[in-house]
Chains A and B, each alone.
Chain A
Amino acid sequence: KAGVTQTPRYLIKTRGQQVTLSCSPISGHRSVSWYQQTPGQGLQFLFEYFSETQRNKGNFPGRFSGRQFSNSRSEMNVSTLELGDSALYLCASREAYEQYFGPGTRLTVT
C-alpha cells in the first residue's frame, strides 16, 4: 500500500495570509490526525477526523480548521497566519491504534 502523502511539501507564506494543506491517508484508513511539530514543543495535536467528522480537537485557536472528504482525504486550513505558525505540519492515518505518518508540510511564515 502507498503511504500517507502530504502536499505541498514546502510552503512560504506572509503574515495575514491563509493556507490549505492536504493529506491523503493510506488506503482503507478512515482516521486522519493533524499535528504541529516545532523544535522543543514536540508534536502538538491539532485535530482528528473520522468518517468526515471531527472526533477530537487539540488546544489551538479557531484559525486552525480542517475537514475530511468522503474518500478520507483531509485538508487543514490556517487563516490569518502568524509568524508563530511556522512549523512542520504532520498528518497521520490509522485504522486501529497505530498511526502512520506522512512526510509533513514545512510551512514558513514571513
Chain B
Amino acid sequence: AQSVSQHNHHVILSEAASLELGCNYSYGGTVNLFWYVQYPGQHLQLLLKYFSGDPLVKGIKGFEAEFIKSKFSFNLRKPSVQWSDTAEYFCAVNDNNNDMRFGAGTRLTVKP
C-alpha cells in the first residue's frame, strides 16, 4: 500500500516569508496528488490538485505545487505567506485503485 510522508510537523514563519512544505509518496504507479488545508475550526478544503499535464499546478490563495515524478514529491509553495495562512496542511495521494491516503499534516503558524 502506498504511504505519504510530510516531514515538517510544525512550521513557524513570519509574514512575507516564503513557504515550502514537503510531501513524498511511496507509490510507483500513476497517481493523483492533492493538497488540502484545514483552517482553525473549519472543514478540510481542497487547495490544489494534480492529475496530469503541467507538473506545476496553481491553487487558491497564491499557493502552487510542483510534481517531480523522479523524486516522488509534490511540494507545496507560496512566495509570501500571510497571517491568514495559519492552518494545517495535508498532502494526499490517490492511486489507480482509487485508494486515497493522507500525510500526517503540517501545522503552519504565521506570525504577524
Chain B residue with Cβ nearest A90: B44
The yes or no answer to A33 lying at the interface (CB within 8 A) is yes
- Asked whether B34 is an interface residue with its Cβ less than 8 Å from the other chain, the reply is yes
Given A56-B99, A90-B44, A103-B43, A98:B104 Cβ within 8 A: no
- Interface size of A by CB at 8 A reads 22
> CB within 8 Å of A: which of B23-46?
32, 34, 36, 43-46
- Pick the contact of A97 from B6, B9, B32, B102 — CB < 8 Å? B32
B interface: dominant SS: strand
Q: Please list the residues of chain B having a beta carbon within 8 angstroms of any beta carbon in chain A.
A: 6, 9, 32, 34, 36, 43-46, 49, 51, 90, 92, 94, 97-105
Can you list 16 A-B pairs with a CB-CB distance of less than 8 A? Answer: A33-B100, A40-B9, A40-B104, A42-B6, A42-B90, A42-B102, A43-B92, A45-B102, A90-B44, A92-B44, A97-B49, A97-B51, A97-B94, A99-B92, A101-B44, A101-B45
